[in-house]
Structure 1
Amino acid sequence: MPYVSLSTLRHLIMKTFLLLLFFLVALALKPEGINGDERIIGAISDCNARVGKEERVAMDMAVQDFNMQHNQTFLMLRLKCSKRKPLQSALAARHLINKNKVEVILGPRSWEEASTVSEVSENYDVPILSFADSSPPWAAERWPFLIQAAAGTHIQMKAVANIIQSWGWRRANVIYEDTDSAANGISPYLYGALQAVDVEISNLRPLPSFADSSFLHKELENLKKEQCRVFVVHTSLELARRVFGMAKEKKMMEKEYVWITTDSITSLVHSMNFSLISSMQGVVGVRNSFLETGPHFNNFSTRFYGIFGRKYPEEKHHEPGIFALQAYDAVWTVGLAMNEGTKSNGRQLLESILKTDFDGLSGNIQFTGQKLEPTTRFQIINIIGKHYRELGFWTENLGFSYTIDHGGYNLSMESLGDVNWPGLGGRSSAPRGWDRSTIENPLRIGVPNGSITNKFVKVDYDSSTGKYIFSGFSIDVFNETARHLKYSLQYEFVPFGGNYNDLVKKVQSKEFDAAVGDIAIISNRCEYVEFTHAHTETGLVMVVPILWHSSRALLFVKPFTTAMWFLTFFINVFNGFVVWSIERNYCSELRGPILNQIGTLLWLAFATLFSLHGEKLHSNLSRMATVVWLFVALVITQSYTASLSSMLTVQNLEPKITNIETLKSNNALIGYSHMSFVREYLEGPLGFKSSNIRNFTSTDEYAQALRSGAIAAAFLEAPVAKLFVAKYCKSFTIAGPTFLVGGYGFAFPRGSLLLPDIDEALLNVRENGVLKDLEQSLIASEQCVDIQSDNETASLSPQNFFVLFIITGVTSSASLLIYYFRAKDRYENSRARYKGIWIATIMVLKKLGHRRNKFSRKVSDVADENPGNSPDNSHSQSQV
């Protein structure tokens, strides 16, 4: 005889006593005279699981409560255990129908079991009230006696999607138990809910119910290598216990990870042991919501707590969950239907059940299409510490709220306050939801190495270091964007020599993690990658040659170049000086104070330019210089007049080509960049002939072709056209309409978790003015190179009058020199003549002086001889 411990014997005696007591109570409570109204209810449950235990206690309580309140019908419950095996459930159903003569079967909870039980019951017209919360749309037609007695929870997937959307996560991994029940709950409900909020499923991982540690280790290791750090778990509690245990072991319950559980797990959070709670720290859960207030619930909860604790002392927690409430309501549903009349066939009982309408512990019990109305309100909880914290509620079409009543709703879960995320404690900011910490190499970013202009992307090779150097506007914008991220992003640029479409496809195939440069955002490229917001102006424009014109007030100086004006002024002044120098000896008006002479000189210089004054000149030399200068002046003034008239005529001229229709009608040739998408656009929407399209590799080639007439117009992307016109500012202009195509953006693989952060950082770069500064620096760096533009070529320069200026200069100079030498000869002759006269004069004066002195001496001698007659002598002397 096997050994039986005293505690085991005591336990068996206690169970036998309780069963006997329950049977005696049932007999005592059974009304007399209604033996014909005994109704037997069958039930199938997983007796070893927490759910099954709660269902068993709740159904026993429901039978007892119903029998106490109703005298017409006496319910009896027959329960079979299935251990969640469909075959065993089918055998249990057959035994209940054939041996126990049950009129209805409650349970089981999984769809796999419910379908097999329904198949059995169809042969006996026995209604099945399944506790599975989901079933295929065709189930009611296939099994007319199958009733879904648990409210559907598929709407919870919208709550999960809204939680993910609230924190800005764009992708999620989904882990679910590979059963029909889980599949019906995941697809299409979760997929559709996530798609509605623009969230993609990064990985969809089914796990078998019997998955062992090695299998879970492999699956979680693969998920850990991925960038996505948001996980949605939809499994049974037993499988969830193994999943979270392994996740904690692999350090996947730490910083930057997000775990969200569905009702199948979270609704049993009240029964979780400390080991499971400790491995689920920071998990956010969605569970079925029910009112935990009111006398009816309080009475049920108190009684359930005591009975469950006595019946299952091995369980640490004795509170009832939603599954107990559903089982309790299911018994009452069947009891009320049976109480309407005597025993009848299964179809009449089915119809009576479907007409049931009352407020149960789990909510309103009312069937539509053989199903209870799905649950539209769920509770959001956060597992933290030794238990969990109730954050609030989510209601379909309303959103999140603190309380269960209708009020204070918000579309974002952030309104519920701080969440204790895995590894972050009570930090208010949510995890990024993705991480690159497991990737050894930095981001490989492809950069085009064949741009039409090096202003946006420039790739140089440094032979001394053996490395490439990347610069340009697009490179600068990306570097600034990376600096504005909330975290450090490691990346390296890699040159790519192919065309832009090939570069985009390299990003799609993940040979590059991204592409940066002057990459236009167009629809066919969006089939392969996703783009950030454009960081440049958008549009495709037409560039054509123009005849330069100006509306400035100084237009009158444009007929002559600066050198021509200076030379004309100099020649004028020089000729005036020549005339003044020659004529001043003949005209007293040309002499006088120095200021008067300067004024007269300038007047002579410019008067000859506009009128003929040859008849007033006295010297043939001045006349000769003036005649030649007048001839030259006549040619210059007439040329100036003609040039100015021409410029005034072209003031209102438009660009040579104003629209693409003119190009098409003239069968004109046009140009585009060989590396861009423009050719497809020109041949497609714009309708140009392929034979009329020429490709170019640089802006200089464009300019040369436009000037020479090789092409009539060039089609450039707006950012490039802006720089092109800035460089050739006096030769070309933008004409016609702007064709709306995308600007330049950064390309990332579709569904990239980095893209939303890059977009946000790029907006910050734009809003804080950094992007504007970079744009201004870009335009300022492009200097106009049109030194010899059309308008300046039309201006008259000294080269146009070189011979005339030589003639007049030589003539005037010769006249001045001849006059100078003549004047010198006259001066020398005059000087010699004056010198002779002066000498003769001096000699005469000397002779006269000598004679006077001699006479004076004679008079003196006479006076000495006649001293008494001095007066008379004086008179005589004076007469002499």
Structure 2
Amino acid sequence: MARKKLASCCFKLLLLTSLITWSTVLSLDSSPGKHSEELSIGGIVDLTTHIGKEERAAMQVAIEDVFSDVDPLLVKDSRGEPTRAVSSAKNLIKKNPCSSNCRLKNMARDFLRRRARGQFAQMKAVADIINSWKWRKVNVIYEDINSAVSGIVPYLISALQDAGAEISELLPLTHTLSDCSLSESLRNLKNGQCRVQIVHASAPLATKIFRNAKRIGMMEKEFVWITTVDTMNLIDTFDTSIISSMQGVLGVKSYYSNSTEMFQHFHFKFNSKFRELYPREPFYEPCVYALQAYDAMRAVSLALKDGVNSSKSFRNSTTNSLMLSITGEKIVSRISESNFQGLAGAFNFQKGILSPESLFRIINVVGRSYREIGYWTEKLGFSESTGAASKYSKSMSRLGQVSWPGHPWSVPRGWAVPTSAEQFTIGVPASNPHREFVDIVYDQFGRAICVKGFSIDVFKATLKFLPYDLPHNFVPFNGTYDSLVEQVKLQNFDAVVADTAIVAERFQSGDFSQPYADPGLQMLITARTKNINRAWVFTKPFSTSLWISIGVINIYNGLVVWLIERNYEQDRNAEIRRGSLLNQIGYMLYSAFKTLFSLNVDNLSSNLSRFVMVVWLFLALVLTQSFTASLSAIFSDQWNDLATIDVDTLRSTGAKIGCDRGSFVVAYLRDVLNIHHDNIVKINSGDDYAAYLVSGKIAAAYLEVPYLNVFLAKYCRGFTTSGPIYKVGGFGFVFQRSSPYLPDISEAVVKTPPMNITDYKFLASRDSLGFPL
């Protein structure tokens, strides 16, 4: 009977660590003289590393946990070379070739491409750390291997974009890079503005990076270092010299529970197996990769065991060749259907992909080791514990104090003034009808030398509240505001700083910050004064009937006092009784009117007359105060016309209405307020509105509220507003779509103390200093 070999499948779990590629090759030997269930399992690991040796021991433990009578693991050493690992796998498969090997190898190749454990979750954890401290730029230092470029780094870029951050520099490195070249590359990062470094590299390369970074002064205050699981999963194997060069580093570390009964069982058997295989090797606690190797080998062993059991009866009814093909497919299918709680977490497949890790430790290197400051869970965020009662937050600031490089307790800004950095290009209007907001100063040769104005000053004040520096330069642009904003869409400018109205059409070209000036559109008209006869203006406070009533009451009061006082014989009142009747009446009227301005009750003899005078004096006080207030109001109100002008009147009469040339207000008047285009007068300068209104060239003008405030502050009399304020516009800064700076700028605008344009010094002096271009 010819010897047959049933090749079942190949399983390769890509563990994204430095120079480690391992896989398992399984074979079922049914040749004559051997038991039909005798198995031999092969594995390929990098035995030049301590991790590879741990993986070998862990896989052997997994095989023994499933099979009680199995040959030891057939190990091939890849020596850290992926091509050697592939060659070793082929040699194991071709050990006893058969008719179905070609089909099985094709099936295995497709299977392996889809069985790498997803790594996007840890990239999101790193991005959430970045977002917790509002850092908007990061440098990424990664190991330049195919798996990193095609798998991990794109995920990190995507996660950072979701968090509102962008990559300033990408630095690919190889493990063969010399210290001199590595230091030079790091110095280039040090000379830039960004101080946040993300390291995604194998442990050997990462330790090399940190040693050189410390030597050139990049582990000091204001620097931030964040590492992925590739480094932190092996931090327990680092010696004290490496730990000392990593002080203040934050890292993401795989999570597993070491308190379960399954782990305790594995731990005991692993210790024995590792010491048996490598008695002279220093012993550490099993790393997460050893746990993952155990889980993977357990899944393969369980699938193989089920396949062997189910194929016994099938051999009696078909050929060995056909049985070989079907059994291989079934084993691959059973591996895909694996669903158990492994040592390193849940082991199952989602849509053909090995389920990713969703829970990580957040650690901080401090002192001689590290401390665990919390956890990160996908879709939930950060927490201080992993229990059911855990409280989650999107920010890791709730996890407690972090020790940063250089041992500062304050959170680093994440940036510094660079020795060399690309300037942020900001467009400004070369010509502005309202120069109080943006004004470009030219020299005698027509060259722009500086830019100034209210909008520029607000932007400068806003930059002070950013958590980083933003080197920039202003570039004048000739054209309309719409075409200026469109330059952002065309990426000719990074931003636009001007009195740019926030209107819907412009959102097609860029995104706006929070408004820094009040929104609104209102009518400006000439204030028509009332025709007041100044000779008789004193009669206006009271009506004619009231004046007559006051005169009658005053005469009546004087008559009563005179009748009472004339009966007394005192010398001081003799004058009342002497003289003709006409003289006595004149004296009576004089005394009555005199009480309006002075209190002469001491000259009266009778208490009854004093009582009458007190009542009259109280009434006189009320009358004089009312008269004074009414007269003041008349003089103050003479500049205002009580008859208001509304848009309906302007529209029905065909009156001319002015607005800024090139402004969105032109379309608003035409399309929203239904003003005929022939009645819209486009004005070139804000200073021209006064002349147009006074001369009658326009009956009214529509200006945005900030412009109105400036105009009314300059022309205190003769003009006023009329009608409602239409809630449109508002001034904002324009940035490119999805710009990482926009959220910070908007937040800074809110924090910036209000600046009142009507109090702005630019109104008083056109010679104020500007900012150089």
Asked if Structure 1 and Structure 2 have the same fold, meaning a TM-score greater than 0.5 normalized by the shorter chain, the answer is yes
1:545–1:656 CA contact under 8 A, matched in 2: no
In the alignment, which residue of structure 1 is the partner of 2:361?
Answer: 379
In the alignment, which residue of structure 1 is the partner of 2:419?
Answer: 438
Greater Cα shift, 245-254 or 501-510? 501-510
Structure 2 residue matching 1:358: 3-state secondary structure: strand
Q: Tell whether 2:48 aligns with 1:48.
A: yes
TM-score, length-normalised on structure 1?
Answer: 0.60
In the alignment, which residue of structure 1 is the partner of 2:377?
Answer: 395
Give the AA of the match of 1:382.
Answer: N
Distance 1:85 1:775 in 2: 69
Distance 2:80 2:677 in 1: 70
Q: Tell whether 2:110 aligns with 1:143.
A: yes
1:545–1:655 CA contact under 8 A, matched in 2: no
Shift of 1:708: 2.4
Cα 1:754–1:313 change in 2 (3 A) is: farther
Structure 2 residue matching 1:711: 3-state secondary structure: coil
Q: Tell whether 2:683 aligns with 1:716.
A: no
2:61–2:273 CA contact under 8 A, matched in 1: no
Cα 1:408–1:565 change in 2 (3 A) is: closer
Cα 1:684–1:192 change in 2 (3 A) is: farther
In the alignment, which residue of structure 2 is the partner of 1:283?
Answer: 249
Shift of 1:732: 3.8
In the alignment, which residue of structure 2 is the partner of 1:731?
Answer: 719
In the alignment, which residue of structure 2 is the partner of 1:538?
Answer: 519
1:125–1:347 CA contact under 8 A, matched in 2: no
Larger radius of gyration: 1
Distance 2:681 2:289 in 1: 74
Structure 1 residue matching 2:266: 3-state secondary structure: helix
1:66–1:332 CA contact under 8 A, matched in 2: yes
In the alignment, which residue of structure 1 is the partner of 2:95?
Answer: 99
Q: Tell whether 2:686 aligns with 1:696.
A: no
Shift of 1:481: 4.7
Q: Calculate the aligned-residue CA RMSD, in Å.
A: 4.9
Structure 1 residue matching 2:120: 3-state secondary structure: coil
1:125–1:346 CA contact under 8 A, matched in 2: no
**Structure 2: 5+ residue runs without aligned partners?**
1-32, 312-323, 540-578, 594-633, 765-773
Aligned mate of 2:404, from 421, 425, 429: 421
Structure 1 residue matching 2:259: 3-state secondary structure: coil
Distance 1:63 1:84 in 2: 24
Describe the superposition over 1:259-314 as per-residue Cα deviations: whole angstroms up to 9, x where unpaired: 22222222222223344433332222112211111343234335535654675578
Aligned mate of 1:331, from 297, 303, 320: 297
In the alignment, which residue of structure 2 is the partner of 1:826?
Answer: none
Structure 2 residue matching 1:155: 3-state secondary structure: helix
Distance 1:667 1:154 in 2: 65
In the alignment, which residue of structure 2 is the partner of 1:810?
Answer: none
Distance 2:181 2:485 in 1: 37
2:221–2:408 CA contact under 8 A, matched in 1: no
In the alignment, which residue of structure 1 is the partner of 2:395?
Answer: 412
Cα 1:476–1:365 change in 2 (3 A) is: closer
Describe the superposition over 1:448-501 as per-residue Cα deviations: whole angstroms up to 9, x where unpaired: 6755445545677999xx9989876546645655666789x7989979585674
Distance 1:323 1:39 in 2: 25
Aligned mate of 2:333, from 346, 351, 358: 351
Q: Tell whether 2:343 aligns with 1:361.
A: yes
In the alignment, which residue of structure 1 is the partner of 2:563?
Answer: none
Cα 1:234–1:702 change in 2 (3 A) is: same
Distance 2:180 2:654 in 1: 72
Distance 2:169 2:672 in 1: 40
Cα 1:74–1:460 change in 2 (3 A) is: closer
Give the AA of the match of 2:194.
Answer: C
Cα 1:460–1:393 change in 2 (3 A) is: same
Q: Tell whether 2:637 aligns with 1:671.
A: no
Aligned mate of 1:657, from 647, 652, 657: 647
Distance 1:273 1:517 in 2: 57
- Kindly indicate which of the two structures has a greater share of residues assigned to helix: 1
2:503–2:728 CA contact under 8 A, matched in 1: no
Distance 2:280 2:745 in 1: 54
Cα 1:682–1:439 change in 2 (3 A) is: farther
Aligned mate of 1:124, from 98, 104, 116: 104
Describe the superposition over 1:666-694 as per-residue Cα deviations: whole angstroms up to 9, x where unpaired: 66544333475545666777787776654
Identity %: 37
Aligned mate of 2:134, from 168, 171, 177: 168
Shift of 1:445: 7.8
In the alignment, which residue of structure 1 is the partner of 2:155?
Answer: 189
Greater Cα shift, 169-178 or 400-409? 169-178
Equivalent residues in 2 for 1:542-561 (5 A)? 542-545=523-526, 547=528, 559-561=532-534
In the alignment, which residue of structure 1 is the partner of 2:603?
Answer: none
Distance 2:81 2:534 in 1: 101
Cα 1:523–1:98 change in 2 (3 A) is: same
Distance 1:562 1:292 in 2: 102
Give the AA of the match of 2:365.
Answer: I
**Structure 1: 5+ residue runs without aligned partners?**
1-32, 104-119, 129-141, 550-557, 567-587, 603-643, 783-880
Distance 1:764 1:168 in 2: 15
Distance 2:332 2:520 in 1: 68
2:644–2:723 CA contact under 8 A, matched in 1: no
Alignment length (residue pairs): 628
Distance 1:444 1:372 in 2: 46
Distance 2:356 2:739 in 1: 35
1:448–1:499 CA contact under 8 A, matched in 2: yes
Distance 1:216 1:433 in 2: 22
